[in-house]
Structure formats: structure tokens, C-alpha cells
Structure 1
């Protein structure tokens, strides 16, 4: 059956030269345009409906091309996409790290372009192409230093019908739906182009193909719209017992790499905002929280070794009379530091902790430091962090929350671990001050919105300088802050224990779709391999 589905299509009747009418310059321009259009679907522009046009453009560009042409066109697409998308990485450290990361990410899309070119002659090629997008994202999110899965197609869908699919197959299924919509658009465009040919039989076949492809373009979002029906709505208080959660965004003295040059000022800002909240609670203006969430880097002074920092945190916890989840930088072990969330109880002081499990390469530790110092002295500003080895599920004030620190929200497995561990809500502690007034904060918040739908949980984002937010289980933002502005939220949030299909399936949809894409590549490459073997044997 598989051989029937993915066997090569019969050769076209028009001469080979007609297949190459779209010459290299135009294909290159089309690939570049596709990458740029895809950027517009992501936060900062939020034109989510444009997302399928990116895969559509790449599919058209590589159609009926050889492998090496596909590699080139995929690289062009990737550079046009990742260079602007990741521009925030170079805002304070210069262009070298930014462009190096963009080129590395684009190299993965070069591989994708080659695979799409190989499989473009197979029957049902739009399906195989969409599966290859998932496979490429799976590769990019795992390999070499743990991967960097930023810019996945699914993360563009912060609203609209395709977002619902996250509850059934996670980000991979959303990415597949976006890519499939795009490849079906490409198939429809190609078929409509063939309607102009003079052969009547070809016109009928092209009309039928175009109709089927356009029907698929309509069907994919329609399935997504229907998928919303059994899912939770925008309510924060339905689905389980509620807890009162406070989020503190204390702000920082300045943006940039030196945001923590006045580390005590950052800590004092969060203490002060908490003391102000305590006064409002005492006056009956706000409810008393069961738990208070401070962001990552809210105390870059190690409270275990600095008595004054510990006193200030004690002061805040005592005033609010609730445990505080403090984001702290802790010295040790040895030459390392630890990015640590500390449960700080008003009566007992520091208690349970969570240490970030996935430090960011080159941002929180530097592999092969002496080598990379040749390219930028900025690497010596990075103090190597130790990775934690325990899942971030913490019991705080009767609330069982799943803690993720900053970029950890982008990794499927880390988020799934905390929900599997019994978290009734998800907390993302983050510090985006090093990225200034860029789109990084909004791009990261989009990931939290996908996670809310994927696991049917409210997500609380506590950011040092913004964007802090409270996200409902349907991915809608119920509260959010401005960048570099102090903010305090207090909300009743249900502690849910429901299980989505995506949670039960785990990584299975990604592996299945990746395997489908890989099988298509093998099917497409096999005739050429057999032909070379035959010549060698002769």
C-alpha cells in the first residue's frame, strides 16, 4: 500500500524544457520571498494567516529541481526567514553571533529544500512535503548542543483554527497543518497553471487536481475549527480548584547585557513591588495570593551566601504572607553557577528548588570557549551554568505548578515533563532584558500560548522586564504587561488535572510524521540508487 501511495508520478507529456520555465533567478527570488513572508506570520507582525505562503513558496521554488538546486533554494529561504526572525540575538552583542545562528538554522532548511526537491515528483507530494517540514523541525530542535527549535511553523499560530490542533498533536501537528495548507496551495497553483495548456485531457486532469487541492486548503482549517469544540474556553477559573496567583514584574535599571550591573536594584525592584502589593492586600484592595511568582534573575545576588539579599526576600515574603518563587543565580557547584528557582516560605525561608535543565549554549554556557573566543570576545562575558537534572514540579502554598525557565518553554519534552509530573498550571520564569525592545519577548510569549492549548493548562509568564502575562487554556492572553514597565497581576487560576490527546501521545505524532517524510525521501531516491547500482554491476 505504501508503495502505491508514494510511487513516482508518471512522466509529464510536455517537453523537459517546459518544466524549467521558472529559471534559477526567479526560483531564488521566490524562495527568498517565501522566507520573508513567513517572518510576517510571527509575533512582531502577527499576520498568522500568511504562514502557509512560506511553505507554498518553497514548494513551488523546488518543484522538479535536482537535489543540489533544492539545497540552494532551501538555504535562500532559510536565510530570508531566520536573519530577520532572530535579529534580536544581535541587538547588543553585534552581528557575528546573530548571523552565525541564523546561518546554522538556515542550513537545516537547506536540507529540507533538498528533500522537498527529491520528493516533488511523487504522488501526493504535498503530504510528503508537509511531513518533511515536521521532520526538519524535529532535527533542528534536537541535534547539536540540544538544538534550537525557534521559528517552528506551529509557533506562528497564536490564534485561528490551526491553534486548536496543538491539543491533539502538539506543536508538530500544528506545523504539519500549516505546511500542508501551503503545499496544497502550491499544488493548486501548479494545476491552475496547466489549465492554459491546449491539450483537453490535460485541462480536465488539471481542473480536477486544482479542485482537490483547493478543497484540502479549505478542509485543513475547517478541521481545526471543529477541533476547538471540546476544548477549554478562555476562563481561568474553570476546570479545577482555584488558587490566587500573583505575578511580579519588578523591571530593571537598564536594558541590555548590563541589565544586572545593578543587581541589588533589580532585587529591590521586586521586593518593592511585593511590599506595595502587601499594602494593597492589607487595605482590602486586592486578594491575598496563595503564591507569588518572581521572574528569572529577580535575584542575581545569591541569597544563600548573601545575608542581606536573604533578608530582603524574607521581608517581602513576610509582608505578603505567602511563599515566593524566586528566580536566583546561585553560586556553584565549583566554578559553575546555577539558574535556580527557589521556593521562599515566609516562615521557613528557602525550601524546594528547581535548577534550569537546558542552559542555552553561548548564552548561559560556552562549549569550546577558547575556539569561539577567536570569533568574539563576548563569550567571556558568559559564566558557565550547570544544568539541573530534576523536573520542575514544585508544591507551593497548596499549588502544584510546573516551572520552566526562559527558553525551556520552546522544548516539547521539558514542557511535557512538568505536566506529566502533575502540574495544575505552568509557570515560565524569564528574563528578556538582554534583548531590549525587540520582538523576542512576543515570540517567546507565543510559545506559552501554544503550550496552554497543548496541555489544557493556564500559563503564567513572569518576566523581569516584560512581557509578563497570564494565558488561559485556550491560548488567549488574559493579562499582559508592557516592556520595561513595573507590573503586578493577581488572578484566580484553576489548577487543572485534565489530560489532552497531545499529552497522552507525547512525541508520537512528531515521530510518525517524520518517519513518513523520511520514507518519501527513500522512495524518491531509490530509483536513482538502483540505477547507479545497475550501471556499476554492468
Structure 2
């Protein structure tokens, strides 16, 4: 049967005859979703372990071109597609963590939930697209939606923030001015301006004044970041300390590691003894401070073995431990351990991992989770006390593992006088995935944000010593028993980011809300004006 052409009739009787034309399947219907998916995957590729930080603004340029000229519903769909294909590969470490008992549903469900934020961003960006300086308003909207993502669901999940794709490169120095929010804004703004420039050049095929201004706007964040590099201080301001971190290693068994706490302790003690032997043999310098990773041991009372080990080092230690409270509840803690007097000040993790350290919506979770029973007890979050401890004559700021993804723990520690930051972590849950290096990228950003050296102490890797400019001076591999000993500067200067604190984030959020409100007003006035013009024409 021959194909049938659909003829479009003349709009009015007597109008000039138009030749019949055949409707073709609109290619944009395919090209736009494909571009949204490709841009989302490019955004994922910009994250560690790949040093492709420059891919992030290009990914956002692709997203902006897809959203160009769309309405809210289409923008939501394209933004969701961008986010879903980004989070799916980024969060594959959840499969290693949960194992085959859960299947892919938690991974898919979390990726879906987080992609909804990107979908909402895509929809709202279409509302501000007709405002003057539209790329700026669009970038503000995208970054503003990272704020509620740090609150909801389940206490927030800020993994995959734009700034975490920038542990190196031109945008990183901006962290010292406005923290992660400003770095993210600069990346997205650059991408959106590149998209605006490409669209203008395509439409007029020549370099016009608006195109030149858009090009300058795209370059501004890059130039600003590069100009700030000389201001990133790395020198010691209150002396230096030799710090040692012990990586005892652990079996690669995911969530089943819950029942292997004795193995973690034994391995950490064994590696500590090897380090002690190397110190006594003169192979490595004696440390001023010893650091154990997160949950390296369990403390329920006096611990003579740890007492003796720390005494043998002759230096204070920060011991990552699961601490049992008098009422039987547990806290994920770091304990300052003196070589003479034993355990002292203790910091308890404030930002607990949902479904790992506590179970939200427990009744629902019990229907799908094979690891819950009546004896499973949630950990208790800390209240921020002792986040800055004094050890080896040094004020040390501590934040534990998952807390690296949140802005406030490191900021609070530095405001409390921390001269050095320490991040005990247990990434042994997540197999050979990219999770550990993704988290290290966050610590590198925090180093620049607060102008502090950062010591990352991991159970099974990656442990690292990070300079105040984000450079990794030494690191370990995954699933190896190893130790690091390095000299770190102590710094007292606070950055502008520390002084501004959360005001940067909330200020950007307020601007984004104002932009959306302005976009809604403009759209409403445009519709009223169009309706009035149509009425006059009818009269």
C-alpha cells in the first residue's frame, strides 16, 4: 500500500494556493531527549576519578540548548532525563553497598528521586528564560535546588553537587570566596552562557554586541577563578605537624561488614604495629599525631590494648570508634586518645547515613530490607560538641565520612579555631566503585574552601593527605593495608567563604526565588498583552 500524504488545507477561502506538503516526524522530538541524555552522561564523566572538570560546563551548555524555547512541562522532562542519566552511573556504588539481596531498586529509586530535583530545575529555568541576563537566572535556579536536596529526603543527600566535580581546575579557587555554592554557580553559568553564545551565532551568523557580551559572561567565572589562584595560601601560619594515618583494610563484602567489626579492629592494630616498627627502624619519621579511620574499633569501656598502642607511639591519637553510650545506644565517634591519660574528648557524627546508620520510615523499610529486625538499633547523632579538639598542641577539626558532603561541619570546625581538618571514613562498604574517590574530591574542595590541610583516613582506601590548595600530596590504593606519614601546615587565616558562611547559599537561593517570581510575572503580562491584542483584532 502506497504511503499517504497528509495535505494541509489553506487557512482561509481565497488565500493564495500553497502546494501540498507532507508532515514529517519532527526530528527535534528525538534530538532534544538524546541531547539531554548525552549532556547528563557528560556531566557524570566530569566527576572523579576522571580529571575532566571542564566537561561540567559543556554538559550544562548542552542542557541549556535543550531547554531553549521550551515550556515548563517539557523543561521538567528534559531536566529529569539529564539528572536520571547522571545519577544512575554516579551512584552505582549503592549496588556494592547493598549487595544482591536488595536488587537494583534502592539504586534506581534514589536516582529517580534525585533526578526530580533536576527536573524541577529544568522546568523553572524555562520560566526565567525571557528575563534579561537569562543565563544567570537559570544558573541561580539550578544551584538553588541543591539547597533543599541537602534537606530532603531522609535528612538530605547532597551527593553529586556541581561543585564536587571541581576538585581541580579553573573554578576551584572560587571555593575560598563562596564555598561550594559559588563554585557550582560559576560552572553552570559558564555552561549556560556558552549555550547562549552558540544560539546567537547560529541565529544571526555574525558576531554582534549581544554575542560579545555573552562570550565575556562565559569567560568571567573562568578568569575570576584563575585570578584567585595566587591568593590560595598553602604556607604554615602556626607551625607544622607530622601526621600519620593508618589504613588497616577490610574484606570487600559490602553491608555484611556490619558483622566484622572485630576484623576492622584487628587489621587496624596490625597495620599500626607495622607503622610503629617502621618508625623505630628509622624508615619513616615519628608522627606528632596518629589518626585511625572511622569505626576502626568499638569502645564500650576501658581499652588497655589501644592505651598501650598509643603509648608506644608516644603521640596523641584520634581514634575512629563506635562508642556505646550508657543507655546502650551507639554513636559513630572520634575519640582524642592521649598516650599518658587515655581517652578524652569525643566528637560524635552529626549527619548520619540513612539506611546505613539509622533507618527512616522503619515500618516501610522492614517490608523490603532483609537486614532489619527488632534488635536493629539506630545510631544516635551527635550535637556538634568537641568537633574541634586539641591534640599535639593543635586545634584539629573533625568531620566523619558522609559529613564531607555537607557544608556546615567543616565550616563550624574552622570557625571554632581548627588549624587542620581530619576526615575519618569507612568506604569499605562500597567495593571497588568510584565512591571513595568521589568523597576524596569533596575533601579536596573543603581544603580550598577553608584554606586548611585535610587528612583523610579510610579503613580500606582511599586515604590521603591534601594540601590547602586541594593538591593530594600522598594517597593509598583501595583494599590495601597501608599507612601515610606526612608533614602538614597549620593555618589560622579564615577565608571569605568562612566569614560569609551560609549567607552565600541563602543569598543565591533568595535571588533564584526572585528570578522565578519575575519570570512568572513576565509570562502573565505577556499572556494578558497577547489576549488584549487578539481581542482588538477580533473587534
TM-score (norm. length: structure 1) = 0.89
1:56-83 CA-partner distances (Å, limit 9, x unpaired): 1221111121111111111111101111
Partner of 1:107: 116
Aligned 8 A contact 1:245 1:493 in 2 = yes
Whole-Å separation in 1 of the counterparts to 2:27 and 2:418: 53
- Other structure's SS at 1:253 match: coil
Partner of 2:104: 95
- The answer on 1:386 being equivalent to 2:395 is no
Q: How does 1:416-427 map to 2 (within 5 A)?
A: 416-427=411-422
Whole-Å separation in 1 of the counterparts to 2:528 and 2:304: 75
Q: How does 1:4-153 map to 2 (within 5 A)?
A: 23-93=28-98, 94-153=103-162
- The answer on 1:336 being equivalent to 2:332 is no
Which residue among 483, 486, 503 is the counterpart of 1:491? 486
Partner of 1:223: 224
Whole-Å separation in 1 of the counterparts to 2:134 and 2:258: 51
Partner of 1:269: 267
Give the C-alpha shift of residue 49 in structure 1.
0.8
| C-alpha spacing 1:55/1:423, structure 2 compared with 1 (3 Å) | same
- Other structure's SS at 1:467 match: coil
Give the C-alpha shift of residue 257 in structure 1.
1.8
- The answer on 1:355 being equivalent to 2:351 is no
Give the C-alpha shift of residue 21 in structure 1.
7.7
Whole-Å separation in 2 of the counterparts to 1:314 and 1:342: 12
Aligned 8 A contact 1:330 1:340 in 2 = yes
1:449-498 CA-partner distances (Å, limit 9, x unpaired): 00000010000000000000000000000010000111111222222111
- The answer on 1:284 being equivalent to 2:277 is no
Aligned 8 A contact 1:296 1:463 in 2 = yes
Aligned 8 A contact 1:260 1:266 in 2 = no
Whole-Å separation in 1 of the counterparts to 2:440 and 2:517: 38
Partner of 2:244: 246
1:216-241 CA-partner distances (Å, limit 9, x unpaired): 223321111111112114x6xx2321
| C-alpha spacing 1:89/1:70, structure 2 compared with 1 (3 Å) | same
Give the C-alpha shift of residue 273 in structure 1.
1.8
Whole-Å separation in 1 of the counterparts to 2:430 and 2:287: 30
Q: How does 1:185-334 map to 2 (within 5 A)?
A: 185-196=194-205, 207-233=208-234, 238-299=236-297, 302-305=298-301, 310-332=303-325, 334=327
Whole-Å separation in 1 of the counterparts to 2:313 and 2:355: 38
| C-alpha spacing 1:259/1:281, structure 2 compared with 1 (3 Å) | same
| C-alpha spacing 1:209/1:529, structure 2 compared with 1 (3 Å) | closer
Whole-Å separation in 2 of the counterparts to 1:243 and 1:143: 39
Aligned 8 A contact 1:362 1:382 in 2 = no
Whole-Å separation in 2 of the counterparts to 1:157 and 1:445: 11
Give the C-alpha shift of residue 531 in structure 1.
7.8
| C-alpha spacing 1:529/1:444, structure 2 compared with 1 (3 Å) | same
TM-score (norm. length: structure 2) = 0.88
Whole-Å separation in 1 of the counterparts to 2:175 and 2:496: 9
Q: Count the aligned residue pairs.
A: 501
Partner of 1:365: 358
Whole-Å separation in 1 of the counterparts to 2:468 and 2:249: 27
**Unaligned stretches of 5+ in structure 1?**
1-19, 197-202
Whole-Å separation in 1 of the counterparts to 2:370 and 2:253: 20
Which residue among 507, 511, 515 is the counterpart of 2:502? 507
If you compute each CA radius of gyration, which structure gives the higher value, 1 or 2? 2
- The answer on 1:523 being equivalent to 2:521 is no
- Other structure's SS at 2:473 match: strand
Aligned 8 A contact 1:64 1:121 in 2 = no
Whole-Å separation in 1 of the counterparts to 2:51 and 2:144: 25
Q: Superposition RMSD on alpha carbons, in Å? A: 2.2
| C-alpha spacing 1:123/1:369, structure 2 compared with 1 (3 Å) | same
Which residue among 433, 445, 449 is the counterpart of 1:450? 445
Q: Which moved more, 1:215-224 or 1:426-435?
A: 215-224
Give the C-alpha shift of residue 258 in structure 1.
2.3
Aligned 8 A contact 2:252 2:429 in 1 = no
Give the C-alpha shift of residue 518 in structure 1.
1.4
- Other structure's SS at 2:259 match: coil
Give the C-alpha shift of residue 114 in structure 1.
0.6
Which residue among 165, 178, 194 is the counterpart of 1:169? 178
**Unaligned stretches of 5+ in structure 2?**
1-24
1:98-134 CA-partner distances (Å, limit 9, x unpaired): 1111111111111101111111122210111111122
Whole-Å separation in 2 of the counterparts to 1:377 and 1:524: 48
1:29-58 CA-partner distances (Å, limit 9, x unpaired): 111111100001000323111000222122
| C-alpha spacing 1:316/1:113, structure 2 compared with 1 (3 Å) | same
Give the C-alpha shift of residue 370 in structure 1.
1.0
Aligned 8 A contact 1:403 1:428 in 2 = yes
